[in-house]
Amino acid sequence: RTRIFSGVKPTGHLTLGNYLGAVRGWVEEDQHRAEALFCVVDLHALTVDHDPARVRRLTRQAATLLLASGLDPEVCTVFVQSRVDEHARLSYLMECTASDGEMRRMIQYKEKTAREQARGGSVRLSLLTYPALMAADILAYGAHEVPVGEDQAQHVELTRDLAIRFNQRYGATFVVPRATVPKVAARVMDLQEPTSKMGKSHDRTAGIVYLLDEPEVVRKKVMRAVTDGGSEVVYDRAERPGLANLLDVLAACTGGDPERLAGGYDAYGALKKDVAEAVVETLRPVRERHAALAAEPGYVDEVLGRGAERARDMARPRVDAAYRAMGLLA
């Protein structure tokens, strides 16, 4: 049976980008068609400046939101990364498989390094080795597919390279995975800065729609979205990125095609109103279920406990085999 693995970092409140680019596909398709694992990857949250109490809170919130979005713990496995030691164990072997140069080439490393420095902080070594841990997350489970937003495709590509290299050097151990990206909204842009990706850890929040934003807040953020010069409504990602982003979001929320949708509008105002309502309606059930689940923390903890146990059992034999293949007396 096809196996699927993916995750989110507890580095901030989940955004519309996380939802449309990743989580919605996990809920609507992936969990039903494959043996799927979804993880709150809290170890990855320690790669940048962090507040321990906040990470702990966001980890539980992210898990609650995954369930609120519709992941069903009866059909898939939902768990927290740090509860399963196999991730960290295998990560070290991946560091011994990867080269320094291929880690430094990662776009996320370059971008997050620049941001940490601009914030006046130092760059943690784990930010550089991040892709080794991510490769371990995926390879430990023998995942065939990794459903992610477009920005993570490069890391999955590196994971493929590492799996192939490991198998060639030490014998067939890992499944070689591939990234799957949604057809629309694979890269939702910041509403205020439509040339950069919407990201939950960004400092400026005016252009970010969070899954738990009140409808009024969502409407305000969408109505104030930056649109590019010009007045015609056309779909052109290169020349009119702000407008294209709104059309992508509308298409993703209503199931339409962004180019065709553009033809239906002759003014920005009407388009923005429809985008705002479409986003509010898309997020409404998630917010409502989140409120219900948040009142039941015992249930979420129980799901995470079961999930970690199941994940551990799935990962251990393959990670042990990798230790032996590399020459360790495991």
Q: Which residues are annotated as a binding site for L-tryptophan?
A: 137
Q: Which of 200, 219, 221, 290 binds ligand ATP (CB under 6 A)?
A: 200
The Cα–Cα gap between 194 and 276 comes to: 17
CA distances (Å), origin 199, targets 11, 16, 111, 329: 10, 9, 12, 42
Q: Which of 4, 5, 11, 30 binds ligand ATP (CB under 6 A)?
A: 11
Q: Is 241 in the site for ligand ATP (CB under 6 A)?
A: no
- Count of chain residues binding ligand ATP (CB under 6 A): 21
Could you give the strand order of the β-sheet that contains 77-80, starting from the edge strand earlier in sequence?
77-80, 35-40, 3-8, 145-147, 178-180
State the nearest-atom distance from the C-beta of 110 to ligand ATP, in Å: 13
State the nearest-atom distance from the C-beta of 139 to ligand ATP, in Å: 17
Secondary structure letter of residue 51 according to DSSP: -
User: Among residues 110, 183, 200, 220, which one is catalytic?
Assistant: 200
State the CB neighbour count (10 A cutoff) for residue 318: 17
Q: Using the rule CB under 6 A, give the single segment among 191-199, 215-223, 235-243, 290-298 that binds ligand ATP.
A: 191-199
List 36's β-bridge partners, or say none: 4
Q: Is 8 in the site for ligand ATP (CB under 6 A)?
A: yes
The Cα–Cα gap between 136 and 91 comes to: 5
Helix (H) or strand (E) holding 176: none
Q: Using the rule CB under 6 A, give the single segment among 24-32, 95-103, 195-203, 259-267 that binds ligand ATP.
A: 195-203
State the nearest-atom distance from the C-beta of 320 to ligand ATP, in Å: 28
- Cβ closest to ligand ATP, residue 107 vs residue 172: 107
Q: Say whether 220 is catalytic.
A: no
The Cα–Cα gap between 180 and 2 comes to: 13
Are 158 and 102 contacting, i.e. CB atoms less than 8 angstroms apart? yes
Within positions 125 to 154, which residues make up the interface with ligand ATP, using CB under 6 A? Answer: 148-149, 151-152
State the nearest-atom distance from the C-beta of 321 to ligand ATP, in Å: 28
Among residues 14, 8, 2, the alpha carbon closest in space to that of 198 is found at 14
User: Among residues 112, 183, 221, 272, which one is catalytic?
Assistant: 112
Q: Tell me which amino acid residue 327 is.
A: G
Residues in the chain: 330
Q: Using the rule CB under 6 A, give the single segment among 7-15, 69-77, 212-220, 313-321 that binds ligand ATP.
A: 7-15
Q: Say whether 197 is catalytic.
A: yes
The Cα–Cα gap between 26 and 4 comes to: 9
Q: Is 21 in the site for ligand ATP (CB under 6 A)?
A: yes
Q: Which residues are catalytic?
A: 112, 197, 200
Binding site for ligand ATP (CB under 6 A): 8-9, 11-12, 15, 17-18, 21-22, 148-149, 151-152, 186-188, 197-201
